[in-house]
Chain A
Amino acid sequence: MPHSISTNNTLEVRFKLSTQDRENKKASRTYLDINTKIPASGVTAIFGHSGSGKTSLLRCIAGLEKAEQGKVSIHKNSWQETWQDTGYFLPVHKRSIGYVFQEASLFPHLTAQKNLTYAIKRSDKAVSAEFYQRVIGVMGIESILTHYPNQLSGGERQRIAIARALLIQPRLLLMDEPLAALDHQRKQEIIPYLERLHQSFDIPIIYVSHSMDEVARLADHILVLDQGKVIAEGGLTEVFSRINLPQRLEDESGVILNGHIVEQDNEWQLIKIAFANSHIWIPDSADILSEALGKSVRIRILARDVSLSLSNHDDTSIVNRILVTVMDIKSDEDSPMSLVRLKMGKEFLVAKMTKKSVHHLELTVGIQVWAQVKSVALVR
């Protein structure tokens, strides 16, 4: 399994926390009840709606909040450290973390450069000139270093804040919805930097977000929180092929598939994306251009964009018609909709339809049907 966790590289996390909701003091108390292992490699998204406890979990890992009962310990290769256990609590400033807050929290009395220096001076090990240049380069902040935070845009401030967190040379980078305070355009502007961050530095990242788009684009693993509890965890593609997520997440149901571009149809400007044993056509776009043969891509297919039919209809506008096998059907009593999990080669698709349609088509586990995929989003 792609998401299987080597016991060598994990962050073991166990918390019980009863606390007032931080964002909304009037809201009821949020309880965190977590016992899990997070991979200490790649990007792990902590995903959930607001109030699900994801920020609290991150703050507990950092030590910014103290859970009455808890354990945090991190194993990375041969290095191992415990940050919290019964009767033991390592203060924040002794934990080898980098933390990026929701709003760029640069020190207002220091220039961007001095903000970075603040981290460099306190870094666990000396910051080499090479590493410094790499951080500056990856975050693209060379030209704005002399500015004070109030002279920078939100996106620029956040890039400085990320660079600052990297320069402390942490073993673990924690990011708390780093894009949430930015408008759509700034988000699009900064996401490529986050992707480069992921590719350029071998540092495990825990990324809190409520945005499906960000998660689909950046994460390798995912931990789904709901009301302070972990309701799903695992590799990104695997978790999103499940159909037993709580209903409140169903609007976003859809699978994420990793494939690569194998063919281009210049006549119709389509490109073919292949998976282990199947493929899908998507429209060519300026993002991909022609140089991309062989490039690996990630796509997302929402459950509501997949419909089923018992025979292959040639007389439809849908390009992607794929023979699939019904694996699982989930119908809730209080909802008129059903989710159907389908096997396409070695990948999964999820289709959303009315219970009436399930009944009408006489769908049962194991039968073969044609899936019609109306739209595919190229995530990256």
Chain B
Amino acid sequence: MMLSDADIGALWLTLRLATTVTILLLIIGTPIAWWLSKTSSPFKGPVAAIVALPLVLPPTVLGFYLLIAMGPNGFIGELTQSLGLGTLPFTFWGLVFASVIYSMPFVVQPLHNAMEAIGERPLEVAATLRATPFDRFFTIVLPLAKPGFITASILGFAHTVGEFGVILMIGGNIPDETRVVSVQVYDHVESLEYAQAHSLSALLVIFSFVVLLALYATQRKTSNVGMMK
């Protein structure tokens, strides 16, 4: 396989982006999923819909609005400028922000499903055993939702690796800053470097296959662990 320095830079950048996004999503997605699985608030529907929106929106549409919002006159742009961070488009952290939004449903939904599947009973049991709500969350909810966390991490990571449209809209094509693998493949094809495009593409195909294989393996394993009986 022939990988140029630029290819390796793109791979490394993709890995860094996907890892950062997955970690951030687990931190942000867990409370959102928990809230969605517990609340009877009238905002539940709208919040769930907003979280799921990236599933149906064309990435270019999402990217376009994010570009506007993060731009010098957008509300996010004004916020970041006032914090002295400059504007986010065409930076690594701009990609991180956009990817967090874009991959959110792939993390929140498995977590939400796993938490809902736990049901009320284990939490009631824990409450009668003197566990405070905080205690219950960490000793009961998190361990019982573990399969959901594994699925969420794998899906969040893989989906971020597979991003293209959003990145193109807000990240552009800056080496080692925003040029991720999918963009690099696009560039290779544009400049008719099919051999390089092949190497990178094949690598992504293998990566995706292995990820999905791992996902199904963990799902098969965890489905054998009975829930509350």
With contacts A122-B129, A168-B129 taken as known, whether A150 is within 8 angstroms of B124 at the C-beta atoms is no
Name which of B69-77, B137-145, B194-202 contacts chain A: B137-145
Using Cβ atoms and an 8 Å threshold, which residues of chain A touch B212? none
Q: How would residues 59 to 88 of chain A score, 1 for a CB under 8 Å from any chain B CB and 0 otherwise?
A: 000101000000000000000000000000
Cβ contact within 8 Å between B225 and A92: no
Task: Determine if A93 and B227 form an interchain contact, defined as CB atoms under 8 angstroms apart.
Answer: no
Interface pair B144/A109, CB less than 8 Å apart: yes
Q: Are A118 and B128 in contact (CB under 8 A)?
A: no
Which listed residue, B135, B143, B226, touches A150 by the CB 8 Å rule?
B226
Interface residues of A in 134-176 (CB under 8 A from B): 149-150, 157, 164-165, 168
Are A62's CB and B143's CB within 8 A? no
Q: Are A99 and B131 in contact (CB under 8 A)?
A: no
A108 within 8 A of B: yes
CB atoms of A97 and B128 under 8 A apart: yes
Dominant SS at the B interface?
helix
Give the number of residues in A that approach B within 8 Å (Cβ atoms): 28
Whether B139 contacts A62 by the Cβ 8 Å rule is no
| B126 CB, min distance to chain A CBs, angstroms | 8
Contact flag A107-B122 (CB < 8 Å), given A118-B139, A150-B226, A157-B229? yes
Also in contact, A109 and B143, with CB within 8 A (given A124-B130, A168-B130): yes
Contact partners of A122 in chain B: CB under 8 A: 129-131, 135
Interface residues of B in 116-140 (CB under 8 A from A): 121-122, 124-133, 135, 139-140
Q: Does B85 contact A (CB under 8 A)?
A: no
Q: CB-CB contacts of B194-229 with A at 8 A, as 1s and 0s?
A: 000000000000000000000000000000011111
Query: Is A105 positioned at the interface, with any CB of B under 8 Å from its CB?
Result: yes
Chain A residues positioned under 8 Å from B226 (CB to CB): 108, 149-150
- Residue A305 CB within 8 A of the other chain: no
Contact between chains at B139 and A108 (CB < 8 Å): no
Q: A103-B229, A105-B121, A150-B229 are in contact. Are A91 and B128 (CB under 8 A)?
A: no
Question: Does A98 sit at the interface, judged by CB under 8 A?
Answer: yes
Cβ of A104 within 8 Å of any chain B Cβ, yes or no, is yes
Q: Do residues B127 and A92 form an inter-chain contact, with CB atoms below 8 A? A: yes
List chain A residues, Cβ under 8 A from B129: 93, 118-119, 122, 164-165, 168
CB-contacts of A98-127 with B (<8 A): 98-99, 101, 103-109, 118-119, 122-124
Chain B residue at minimal CB-CB distance from A123: B130
Bound CA span A107–B139, Å: 10
Chain B residues with CB under 8 A of A164 = 129
Alpha-carbon separation in the docked complex, A98 to B133 (Å): 17
Contact A108 B124 (CB under 8 A): no
The 3 closest A-B CB pairs, nearest first, are A99-B128, A122-B130, A92-B127
18 A-B pairs (CB sep. < 8 Å): A64-B127, A92-B128, A98-B128, A99-B125, A101-B124, A105-B124, A107-B122, A107-B140, A108-B144, A108-B226, A109-B225, A118-B129, A122-B135, A123-B130, A150-B225, A157-B229, A168-B128, A168-B130
Known: A119-B130, A124-B130, A149-B229; 16 extra A-B contacts, CB below 8 A, are A64-B127, A64-B128, A92-B128, A93-B128, A94-B130, A99-B128, A101-B121, A105-B125, A106-B228, A118-B126, A118-B131, A122-B130, A150-B226, A165-B129, A168-B128, A168-B129
B residues at A contact (CB < 8 Å) = 121-122, 124-133, 135, 139-140, 143-144, 146, 225-229
